[in-house]
Amino acid sequence: MSRHRLIVGRDEYDEIFAVGDVHGHLDLLLGAEERMRENSKSGGRKLIIMLGDYIDRGPHSYGVIEHLIAAPPTGFDRICLTGNHEAIMLAFLAGIEGNGAWLDWGGTETVASYGVDPYKYLNMDGTGHTLRTVLNEVLPQSHLDFMGSLPICVSSAPYLFTHAGVVPGKPLADQADEDLFWIREPFLTLGPQLPGLTVVHGHTPSLEPTFAGGRIGIDTGAYKTGRLTVLKIAGETAEII
């Protein structure tokens, strides 16, 4: 089943803040929220758009999800999009074949954040079946519901916010969910190739935010660099804070 695709009118919010891949670092997320509060110049409505990949690799996946389920910072609304890491975790938990790679992509750190020793169960059963059973018993239903209900993108013309990007030249209505949270090339080289559209995305880490060819990439590899990037859009200006 396809995930929701949201539309936000540009006149609905004075400021929009997009946040890159958190990857299990609650401390960096809290720091990013403080920067947003400090840099906001508006007394009007403000929106935070989280670009996905809240879990894996870092030590605080449980805490990040718990935080995002709770109310946003005072004075802000918040929309959380899905990333490929949330999608593959849910696929692993559902027993969908071929998704065991989740554990190698930082999933073991997520498992540990929920108080489960992943290697204890992987040593018992190398297929991951036993670990999957334990996780389905341990994970809070509120966390599963949250990850399962995350929308795939937000359109707020001329911007499209999504986790990974788009297939160049393909109308948004024809893009599959998997395109929007998995793609790298040819999107990174060609950009969206959709007139008048700028895609704000994470997914592919770089040392610095990237402004190029109809796209703004803001995944600066927080789990390695300690830098969780925030993009602020106000009027005609888009800047890193």
The pLDDT tens digits along the chain (241 residues) read 789 999 999 899 999 999 999 999 999 999 999 999 999 998 999 999 999 999 999 999 999 999 999 999 999 999 999 999 999 999 999 999 878 899 999 999 999 999 999 999 988 887 789 999 999 999 999 999 999 999 999 999 999 999 999 999 999 999 999 999 999 999 999 999 999 999 999 999 999 999 999 999 999 999 999 999 999 999 999 999 9
**Between the CA atoms of 167, 173, 177 and 180, what dihedral angle is there, to the nearest 10 degrees?**
40
**Between the CA atoms of 149, 20, 17 and 88, what dihedral angle is there, to the nearest 10 degrees?**
-10
Tell me the one-letter amino acid at 148: G
* Whole-number Å distance between alpha carbons of 132 and 103: 11
* Share in percent of the chain as helix, strand, coil (round to 5): 35, 20, 45
pTM recorded for the entire structure = 0.97
Q: Count of CB atoms within 10 A of residue 229's CB?
A: 25
